[in-house]
């Protein structure tokens, strides 16, 4: 009798569990959590939530821990750029299939990380066009715009040479040849799946001596952190391009009716660890309050800079105007320009003031504060080839530093940034 009751209880429990497993609202929660399936998508598919979950899992199940995060990042990016840079969205490629990714692994002889594979199941990078999805930078004679490579182009650039052994390019700039690479194995001092800009050691006799500016610890962290900066307005969009200027909200100073704010960016392609030469660009915005009285209109006459490197060395610079101009600022008007500087140390800061004269009272002069802004190069790693070489072969001069940065300044209106080519001049 007890055995019969136990059997009946087990049957009831099994039947109840089967009913619960088919309860569609339970599957709805999982579909929304793991696959971001909307109610509209469910109606379009004309399937139950359980059927949708099972079919999606059969295709994307290996990515269940990454898919929702990456899909949201892509959706947010498309929505944000669709309103501001529709041409860029038009360059995105459709997703690839599992067999395409498997074929690439067979071709390069390395496994691709699941977060990277997952992203390509959503979008297969972009076409080699300008502007690039992964950000741009423009100076007077230097332009960079990085495309997010599709899987076949990335595989074609897979490296086996010393210095970049088993590294896969993620991005590419058709103007400079610059790429960000992902290490597919822990070799030559790199961590597995670490992402970096290569930086050849210009003082080494060994061509495989390549230092690295680190930009990410994994594809998921690298891509989602970039997207977050874009969609939250952390990176400005100028003439349909994403410019990777970082703005510190504390880096703003107001003098009377005039506000000055500064954004900065590090340029790895114009920098080196050996010799120590770290190149930064900064973008300055000067704005007069729209509520200012008309007689507050003024013209910029000169600039003063106080430049301090990480060793505490100070340099003072003065000069007429900015970028060869003497802008007039009136109520509600904004003036912006871009300039650059270099340090022989990994960080430094600048501060100073502009001198203006009033247009209505030409004898009246006043200074407007430029807030202190810091510039710090990203984390870098020194090539193992250098560490394995006799250090006496190298001579490092760390005394070179920036001089009058405005010698190389180039004005950039927000809506008028050209795409020059070539390299920025090195400061002397």
* pLDDT of amino acid 408: 43
| Residue partners of 347: CB distance under 8 A and separation at least 6 | 278, 309, 310, 374, 375, 376, 377
Residue 63 DSSP class: G
CA distance 208 to 150: 27
Mind listing the pLDDT tens digit for each residue in 326-341? 999 999 999 999 999 9
Statement: residue 386 has pLDDT above 90: no
- The answer to whether 419 and 243 are in contact (CB under 8 A) is no
**Are the CB atoms for 224 and 230 separated by under 8 Å?**
no
Q: What local confidence, expressed as pLDDT, does residue 2 receive?
A: 59
Q: Higher pLDDT residue, 231 or 20?
A: 231
Which helix (DSSP H) or strand (DSSP E) does residue 351 occupy?
Answer: strand 347-358
Structure tokens at 94: 């459709």
Average pLDDT over residues 394-400: 45
Six-digit token string for 321 = 């105007």
Statement: residue 398 has pLDDT above 50: no
Tell me if residue 11 falls in helix, strand or coil: helix
From 37-46, 102-111, 118-127, 387-396, the region with the lowest mean pLDDT = 387-396
Please give the full DSSP string across 47-96, using - where no structure is assigned: --HHHHHHHHHHHHGGGTTTHHHHHHHHHHHHHHHHHH-HHHHTTBPPP-
Lowest-pLDDT choice from 5-14, 57-66, 257-266, 322-331:
5-14
**CA nearest neighbour of 62 among 113, 108, 103, 26:** 113
Which residues make Cβ contacts (< 8 Å) with residue 252, sequence separation at least 6? Answer: 259, 260, 261, 371
Token representation of residue 257: 């009716």
User: Is residue 246 scored above 60 in pLDDT?
Assistant: yes
Altogether, the residues listed in the chain come to a count of 428
* Predicted pLDDT at 425: 35
Q: Residues of 373-383 as b/e, b for ≥16 C-beta within 10 angstroms? A: bebbbbebbbb
> Using one digit for the tens of pLDDT, what is the confidence trace for 221-234?
999 999 999 999 99
Grade residue 3 by pLDDT with cuts at 50, 70 and 90: low
Distance CA 346, CA 401 (A): 11
| Cα end-to-end span (Å), the chain | 98
């Amino acid at each position: 009798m007890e055995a019969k009751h136990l059997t009946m209880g087990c049957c009831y429990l099994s039947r109840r569990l089967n009913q619960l497993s088919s309860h569609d609202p339970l599957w709805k929660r999982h579909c929304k959590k793991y696959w971001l399936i909307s109610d509209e998508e469910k109606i379009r598919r004309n399937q139950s939530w359980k059927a949708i979950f099972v079919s999606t899992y059969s295709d994307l199940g290996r990515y269940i821990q990454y898919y929702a995060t990456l899909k949201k990042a892509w959706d947010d990016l498309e929505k944000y750029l669709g309103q501001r840079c529709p041409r860029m969205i038009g360059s995105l490629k459709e997703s690839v299939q599992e067999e395409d990714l498997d074929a690439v692994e067979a071709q390069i002889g390395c496994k691709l990380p699941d977060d990277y594979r997952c992203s390509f199941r959503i979008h297969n990078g972009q076409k080699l066009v300008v502007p690039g999805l992964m950000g741009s930078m423009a100076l007077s004679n230097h332009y960079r715009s990085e495309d997010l490579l599709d899987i076949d182009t990335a595989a074609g650039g897979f490296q086996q040479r010393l210095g970049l052994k088993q590294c896969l390019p993620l991005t590419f700039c058709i103007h400079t040849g610059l790429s960000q690479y992902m290490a597919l194995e822990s070799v030559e001092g790199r961590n597995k799946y670490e992402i970096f800009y290569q930086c050849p050691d210009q003082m080494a006799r060994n061509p495989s001596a390549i230092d690295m500016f680190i930009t990410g610890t994994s594809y998921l962290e690298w891509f989602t952190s970039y997207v977050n900066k874009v969609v939250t307005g952390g990176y400005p969009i100028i003439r349909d391009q994403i410019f990777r200027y970082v703005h510190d909200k504390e880096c703003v100073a107001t003098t009377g009716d005039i506000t000055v704010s500064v954004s900065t960016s590090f340029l790895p392609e114009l920098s080196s660890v050996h010799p120590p030469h770290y190149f930064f660009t900064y973008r300055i915005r000067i704005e007069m309050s729209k509520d200012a009285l008309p007689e507050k209109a003024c013209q910029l006459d000169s600039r003063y800079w106080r430049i301090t490197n990480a060793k505490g060395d100070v340099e003072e610079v003065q000069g007429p105007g900015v970028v060869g101009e003497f802008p007039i600022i009136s109520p509600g008007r904004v003036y912006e320009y871009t300039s650059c500087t270099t340090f022989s140390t990994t960080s430094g800061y600048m501060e100073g003031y502009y001198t203006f004269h009033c247009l209505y009272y030409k004898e009246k002069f006043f200074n407007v504060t430029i807030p202190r802004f810091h510039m710090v190069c990203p984390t870098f790693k020194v090539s193992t080839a250098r560490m394995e070489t006799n250090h006496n072969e190298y001579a490092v001069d760390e005394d070179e530093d920036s001089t009058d940065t405005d010698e190389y300044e180039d004005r950039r209106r927000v809506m008028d940034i050209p795409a020059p080519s070539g390299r920025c001049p090195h400061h002397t």
